[in-house]
Amino acid sequence: MTDLNRTAIQEGTDMTVEKIEIDTLVIGAGQAGVAMSEHLSKLGVPHLVLERNRIAEAWRTKRWDSLVANGPAWHDRFPGLEFDGLDPDAFPAKERVADYFEAYAKKFNAPIRTGVEVKKVERNAGRPGFTIETSEGVFEANRVVAATGPFQHPVIPPIAPKDERLHQIHSADYRNPAQLPEGAVLVVGAGSSGVQIADELRRAGKQVYLSVGPHHRPPRAYRNRDFCWWLGVLGEWDAEAMAPGTEHVTIAVSGARGGHTIDFRRLAHEGMILVGLTKAFNDGQVTFEPNLTQNLAGGDENYLSLLDAADAYIARNGLDLPEEPEARNMLPDPDCVTNPILELDLMDAGVTSIIWATGFKLDYSWLKVGAFDENGKPRHQRGVSSEPGVYFLGLPWQSRRGSSFIWGVWHDAKHIAGHIATQRKYAAYKDADQRDAEKVSEIRDAKKESVA
Ligand SMILES: Cc1cc2nc3c(=O)[nH]c(=O)nc-3n(C[C@H](O)[C@H](O)[C@H](O)COP(=O)(O)OP(=O)(O)OC[C@H]3O[C@@H](n4cnc5c(N)ncnc54)[C@H](O)[C@@H]3O)c2cc1C
């Protein structure tokens, strides 16, 4: 569904640029762009998706080699297609996830142009729509949907030391253990990325220090149900806002090696050294906040609260799911918890690398419209921005907790497509005078045709 209009426009005296007109332009063909295209197609909205790389590029090349989805195949997918030939309870490898979105786009013949980067979007002055500058020419659109991802730019905090002896990378640039120099590693950040990378490095024989902040760590599975199922039936994926005070709480889950619960004490008993939040670096020394015990206790509380909620749900609904009392057993605190390290000399400890698993930020510097607040954050309601005609998709917590995840983005895309379809109806409305004038001109045209 594209309906492209092409016109050649003169730029200055000697340059002719092809200008392509389209009703709705979607920028980015990750899962968000593919979902958007599906819903726009269903509603008959002419549109085009521009992607600077390939479909689902982030799943192909922006993540580490061994990554698998954090959710099982039955859950981390769109409603219209299952993972072909995969056990529904398995965790698909990242390449399989990318292949899935490619196949999905093919299934409904999504109008996606790859290898086209959007450089600038500006509202037209004195007429409707937007002008979009891209690496392949100029586009005009009535509406734009920014589906460029929730995790655009890796963030390394300013405390990172300027020390050439240390090999420092963001988790977005981590691929595998062989990429790091000999020696111990400090992994800063213990969300799903940090803890999975730290575990892989330890299994590869490295001494790993893992800096653990406030986190949630739901059980991978409890009483024969994956936590994705529990969050679904308990309504947690649909939570509309973060609980107050949890803005800096990360989630630690893993689908690696068939999926397992993140248990920091187990990792420590296996040889990993846990430390609290990383505070500062000075003259080769790193200091840690004295909050490791507190952070682990917060994670335990979250873990146990899910077990309680699950037990209550089972009792309330009379479900026949096997009891699992052993899930409540906690391992004893390892030495690094009872005697926490608050200061470490990096060279003495043999640390040669630091991996910053410290998250990402958004970057809409190319979107030159008034849809942002004073902190540069998108101003929107469920993705419908404060600037008419501009939409965001795939933002964390866009409408609910699930918004930046595979299954959640599909539902947000549906809402946005509905909004676009409604706006197109308003735009198509004609008052009685306009309708009469149209009728007169139709009659005139018909007469002309019959004379000819
Ligand atoms: C390590 C990691 C693991 C994850 N695991 C899971 C998981 O297991 N399950 C789950 O549900 N979610 C997971 N997520 C979260 C989320 O599903 C992914 O981040 C997903 O890639 C987001 O999809 P998206 O389409 O919103 O953004 P992206 O996949 O980032 O896609 C955005 C696209 O926009 C393109 N683009 C950007 N700027 C421009 C431009 N100016 N012009 C043209 N194109 C542009 C990019 O090339 C990119 O292809 C994970 C995230 C990370 C970081």
Question: Domain coordinates of the chain in residue numbers?
Answer: 5-152+362-428, 155-356
Altogether, the residues listed in the chain come to a count of 452
If we measure between CA atoms, which residue out of 109, 70, 75, 115 comes closest to residue 93?
70
CB 88 within 8 A of CB 72: yes
Task: Name beta bridge partners: 211.
Answer: 188, 275
| pLDDT value of residue 7 | 60
**Residue nearest (by alpha carbon) to ligand 1 atom 34:** 28
| pLDDT value of residue 13 | 41
CB 21 within 8 A of CB 5: yes
| pLDDT value of residue 18 | 61
CB neighbour list of residue 56: distance below 8 Å, 6 or more residues apart: 29, 30, 31, 34, 97, 98, 100, 101, 102
| Integer Cα distance of 399 and 125 in angstroms | 31
Task: Tell me how far the alpha carbon of residue 387 lies from the centroid of ligand 1, in angstroms.
Answer: 24
CA 117 to ligand 1: nearest atom: 42
Q: How many CA atoms lie within 13 A of 260 on its CB side?
A: 11
If we measure between CA atoms, which residue out of 307, 293, 128 comes closest to residue 221?
307
Written as tens digits, the pLDDT of the chain (452 aa) is 556 666 655 444 444 456 789 999 999 999 999 999 999 999 999 999 999 999 999 999 999 999 999 999 999 999 999 999 999 999 999 999 999 999 999 999 999 999 999 999 999 999 999 999 999 999 999 999 999 999 999 999 999 999 999 999 999 999 999 999 999 999 999 999 999 999 999 999 999 999 999 999 999 999 999 999 999 999 999 999 998 888 889 999 999 999 999 999 999 999 999 999 999 999 999 999 999 999 999 999 999 999 999 999 999 999 999 999 999 999 999 999 999 999 999 999 999 999 999 999 999 999 999 999 999 999 999 999 999 999 999 999 999 999 999 999 999 999 999 999 999 999 999 999 999 999 999 999 888 888 77
If we measure between CA atoms, which residue out of 35, 131, 143 comes closest to residue 385?
143
CA 64 to ligand 1: nearest atom: 1
CB 231 within 8 A of CB 302: no
Fold of 5-152+362-428: FAD/NAD(P)-binding domain (3.50.50)
Q: Could you report the per-residue pLDDT of 299-353, keeping only the tens digit for each?
A: 999 999 999 999 999 999 999 999 999 999 999 999 999 999 999 999 999 999 9
Q: Enter the DSSP assignment of 3.
A: -
| Integer Cα distance of 264 and 88 in angstroms | 28
| Integer Cα distance of 180 and 141 in angstroms | 46
Longest dimension (CA), the chain: 98
pTM for this prediction: 0.94
**318 three-class SS:** coil
Q: How many CA atoms lie within 13 A of 163 on its CB side?
A: 19
Query: Is the shortest distance between the CB of 30 and ligand 1 below 6 Å?
Result: yes
| Integer Cα distance of 71 and 259 in angstroms | 9
Task: Tell me how far the alpha carbon of residue 346 lies from the centroid of ligand 1, in angstroms.
Answer: 34
| Integer Cα distance of 31 and 49 in angstroms | 12
Residue from 53, 405, 409, 410 to probe ligand 1 pocket by mutation (most atoms less than 8 Å from CB):
405
The rounded radius of gyration (Å) of the Cα atoms in the chain is 26
| pLDDT value of residue 451 | 79
**Residue nearest (by alpha carbon) to ligand 1 atom 38:** 148
Query: Is the shortest distance between the CB of 57 and ligand 1 below 6 Å?
Result: yes
Residue from 39, 51, 112, 416 to probe ligand 1 pocket by mutation (most atoms less than 8 Å from CB):
51
| pLDDT value of residue 6 | 64
If we measure between CA atoms, which residue out of 266, 131, 249, 272 comes closest to residue 201?
272
Q: Could you report the per-residue pLDDT of 119-154, keeping only the tens digit for each?
A: 999 999 999 999 999 999 999 999 999 999 999 999
H or E element: which one contains 298? helix 292-317
| Integer Cα distance of 390 and 383 in angstroms | 9
Q: Enter the DSSP assignment of 389.
A: T
